[in-house]
Structures are given as structure tokens and as C-alpha cells.
Amino acid sequence: LRLGVLASGRGSNLQSIMDQAAAGKINAAVAVVISDKKDAYALERARMAGIPAGHINYSDFPSKDAYERSIVELLQQHGVELVCLAGYMRIVGKVLLAAFPNRVMNIHPALLPSFPGLHGQEQAWAYGVKFSGCTVHFVDEGMDTGPIILQAVVPVYDEDTADDLSARILEQEHKIYPEAIRLYAEGRLRIEGRKVYVSKINH
């Protein structure tokens, strides 16, 4: 399975996906990494792994549609079959979604539908929840609203800072994102309305 990863920042989720793929744990390879930020460390990580890395600058385009057409073109040039958002800080629009229907995934650092949007970890910590976690979901036109594939739960302790909680969540992100991709690559995810069913392996 050929993956295209979109990232805006440090790229630790990208790294976990590249590592699992290189280790043969998931039947997938990152074909291209694209960032809207020139200095994203994710681009550097891709280059260090010998993976094509491209910067596409939003403000070089007259519209969001035009910007996304250029992303879609690059993804298609690299034969991408599944798009993975990994710290990509923009809302995906209709051009990208139409080119990859039900083939865009995202990871969010909270238990959706709680705490969507920016800073899900801090929001949960400030709210005072006793458990939080992370969510891998398919992407639709909304913000963090698409069908949920996998979630992982972590406890919140009294002595935690928001950073402590973020770190505990990130550790789980690095597990469940590659796991969701593995299930997709094995053809085991089926979307029905809001629900994503994971089929068992038939022996």
C-alpha cells in the first residue's frame, strides 16, 4: 500500500509510520511526504529516510481548491492509495476528499468526539477529565468528525501537567496510527455510515 503523509510539524507520527513500514510490520510504504510548512521537521525526517519530500505553500495559490489540486497531483504522481494526516494543521477540503474518497485518515490527540480542534490534550487536561487518549479516524469535511477507526485510552493523574498528559497520549498515537494503517492495508476496515467495522482474520 502506497502512503502519502501530510504533516505541518515535527513529524513524530510520520516517523512511527515510516519505522513500522521499514520493519515490515505493516504492508505499506511511505511514497511521499508533503508539508504546507517549509521548515517542518517532518520533511527532514522524510529526506533522512530517503523518501521524497515536498513543500507546497498555501499562499502561492489563488484558492484552497487550487492549493489542494497541487497536493492531489503530487500524491497521484507518487501512486498514493491512502493519505495519512499526521499533524497537518489545515482542514481538508473537497478537492482532496473527492480525489481520495474514504481514503484519508487522521490522528487526533483526544477521545473524539470530545475536544476536537487544536490542543486536544490541553483542553482535556484543563477540563479535568480522568481519562483521555487519542483517536484515528477517517476524514470528512468536518473538523475531527469522521468515522472512528481506533482509539486508545490513557489515565490523567492529579500531578500531571498538560505536557505530561500530551507525552502519555503521544506514546499511544505512535502505536494506534500504524495499527490503523495495517488494518487498512490488510483490507480489514469497512465503513458503514458512522461506523468502521474491523474484520477478523479468517484462518
- Which residue ranges are tagged as binding site? 11-13, 64, 89-92, 106
CA dihedral 50, 54, 55, 61 (to 10 degrees): 180
- Residue identified by cell 458503514 is 192
Q: What is the CA radius of gyration of the chain?
A: 16
Q: Does 11 bind ligand GRF (CB under 6 A)?
A: yes
- Nearer residue to ligand GRF within complex by CB, 58 or 61: 58
Span 50-89, contacts to ligand GRF by CB under 6 A: 86-87
Q: Does 146 bind ligand GRF (CB under 6 A)?
A: no
Q: How far is the CB of 200 from ligand GRF (least distance, A)?
A: 28
Instruction: Provide, rounded to whole angstroms, the least separation between the CB of residue 135 and ligand GRF.
Output: 9
Distance between CA 20 and CA 17 in Å, rounded?
5
Region class of 133: left (phi > 0), else alpha (psi between -120 and 50), else beta: left
- Could you say which residues in the range 97-126 bind ligand GRF, by CB under 6 A? 107-109
The answer to the question of residue 5 lying near ligand GRF (CB under 6 A) is: no
* Binding residue (CB under 6 A) for ligand GRF from 2, 12, 54, 143: 12
Dihedral sign (CA 133, 93, 70, 189): positive
Active site residues: 108
Q: Is residue 184 classed as helix, strand or coil in its secondary structure?
A: helix
Judged by the rule CB under 6 A, the positions of this chain that interact with ligand GRF are 7, 9-14, 86-87, 107-109, 170, 173
